[in-house]
Structure 1
Amino acid sequence: MDPKDLARQLVVEQYPDARAAWLGGSVARGDASSTSDLDITVLLDGPPAPLRKSLEYGGWPVELFVHTEKSLAYFSDKDQKRRQPTMMRLVGESVVLLDRDGSGAHFQQAGQAEVAAGPAPLSTSELELLRYTITGLLDDLADASGDVRTALCSALWQDAARLLLTGARHWSGTGKGLLREVMAYDESQGTDHATALMDGVRAEDDSLVEEVDRILQPYGGRLFSGFELTGTTP
């Protein structure tokens, strides 16, 4: 059975009162692999929601996200604050499986608009904290080797990628999603940061340091002396 039809069948069977449902992720994008799952979001009028559940259905692994309008708004707002559009993409970049009252199309279009608008700009304190964190990793990397170097490189490319993306008001991500966002940024800007970062992680030379300094440069470069972080009293 076509995975879209299978996903629709699951929703109808398990959530007969659903107002809307969407199939997102790699299957909806058309780049699914042999290990991909079905990312299904369901909209209900009321409880039980929100719910995240993993299961197998029709030979497919399924990630099921059950929401109300209130919980959709809550998680979209949370994604805005962390600049990672997980919920917006799951619904906005999707195939509508079910739409009983127009909410399927409405929330899909709203998600697309939020993704297209991009995240809020970094505040001065957020930018300085990223620069300071990256500077510390670069200093630690200077005399590191073996497993310590591998661990530092893993953290460094991700923090540098987040600065690259969020500094330019482009969405960020985690894991393979972060790399996918850097690749999308490169495609739109005609740059090669994804390749340079990954080549630098693998190389036993200073190429990663050079690439990270290249990313830092538009924001004032490395930051240590003069950095301050104020907090609130608990």
Structure 2
Amino acid sequence: MALSKRLEPLEAVKRIIDERFPACDAAIVAGSVIRGEGTATSDLDIVLFERERQASYRTSFFAYGWPMEVFVHSFHSYENYFESDRERGQPSLQQMVSEGTIVRDAPELKRIREEAKQVLLEGPDLWSESVIREKRYFITDLLEDFIGCSSRDEGIFIAGSLAERTGDFILRTNKCWSGSSKWLLRALKRHDPTIAGQFSDAFHRYYRNGEKESVIQLVDEAMVPHGGRLFEGFSIGKDT
């Protein structure tokens, strides 16, 4: 549907709840559009709560000129998602619940939003030394592949994986929330704008000119405080 035919975001959400989710007891709409940062392809993220719901689910569709992603929960099922998001260090549901705009309220919603804010404030669990050691090993493996790679095509894919793993390593070893895709860079900017700038510059240099040195330096500097590259002596599952 053409952009000119779009309803205002909140009006579109209210209508779709009335039409498709009659059991909805509370609802929050979140995302870049609600923050005033939307683009032509941005969607509306909607979190719904139904008291009688047993199993959570998500569904996506177009309505009133908007792509919509709807996450349906009970007033208790969200807890498992909060926990899994915390464990993986990417609090997507917590951010939607805490930062979004309420379009249908319920007494339980205040408690859930406060819980989401508290989780975000506390940050993810700090990685154990064994986890850091494992992450160093696999980043080292990728880095060595990157250094030795003579195929430009293969190097592009290795660099992408190296960026994701290194960015996640920087954030999680500093007890910061991480992310994937564009959310990884945004998380790095929140943590340290200087590091985020160095990160972007290093990979720009490689993708534009094939220059590897800045990427190699960036990855090495990320691991040095934790022991640097790791290969010799690493094992998984070996009996002691």
Residue in 1 that maps onto 2:29: 23
Moved over 4 A (4+): none
Cα deviation, residue 201, structure 1: 4.1
Residue in 1 that maps onto 2:132: 127
Cα deviation, residue 231, structure 1: 7.6
Residue in 2 that maps onto 1:81: 87
Deviations 1:14-49 (A, max 9, x none): 223322111111122221110000100100112364
SS of residue matched to 1:226? coil
Residue in 2 that maps onto 1:173: 179
Deviations 1:91-115 (A, max 9, x none): 112111111x322232222212211
Residue in 2 that maps onto 1:209: 216
Unaligned runs of 5+ in 2: 1-6
**1:195 and 2:204 are equivalent in the alignment:** no
Q: Is the contact between residue 75 and residue 108 of structure 2 (CA under 8 Å) also seen in structure 1?
A: no
Q: Is the contact between residue 171 and residue 177 of structure 2 (CA under 8 Å) also seen in structure 1?
A: yes
> What are the residue-to-residue correspondences of 1:1-234 with 2, within 5 Å?
1-47=7-53, 49-99=55-105, 101-144=106-149, 145-187=151-193, 192-202=197-207, 203-205=209-211, 206-230=213-237
Unaligned runs of 5+ in 1: none
Aligned length: 230
Cα deviation, residue 146, structure 1: 1.1
Residue in 1 that maps onto 2:4: none
Residue in 1 that maps onto 2:3: none
% identity of equivalent residues: 30
Distance (whole Å) between structure 2 residues aligned to residue 175 and residue 217 of structure 1: 25
Distance 1:227 1:23, change over 3 A: same
Q: Counterpart of 2:154 in structure 1: which amino acid?
A: V
Q: Is the contact between residue 118 and residue 171 of structure 1 (CA under 8 Å) also seen in structure 2?
A: yes
Distance (whole Å) between structure 1 residues aligned to residue 195 and residue 233 of structure 2: 34
TM-score (norm 2): 0.89
> Could you tell which deviates more after superposition, 120-129 or 9-18?
9-18
Q: Counterpart of 1:168 in structure 2: which amino acid?
A: N
TM-score (norm 1): 0.91
RMSD over equivalenced CA pairs, Å: 1.9
Distance (whole Å) between structure 2 residues aligned to residue 29 and residue 113 of structure 1: 21
Distance (whole Å) between structure 1 residues aligned to residue 99 and residue 86 of structure 2: 16
Q: Is the contact between residue 28 and residue 93 of structure 1 (CA under 8 Å) also seen in structure 2?
A: no
Q: Is the contact between residue 54 and residue 77 of structure 2 (CA under 8 Å) also seen in structure 1?
A: no
Q: Is the contact between residue 186 and residue 194 of structure 1 (CA under 8 Å) also seen in structure 2?
A: no
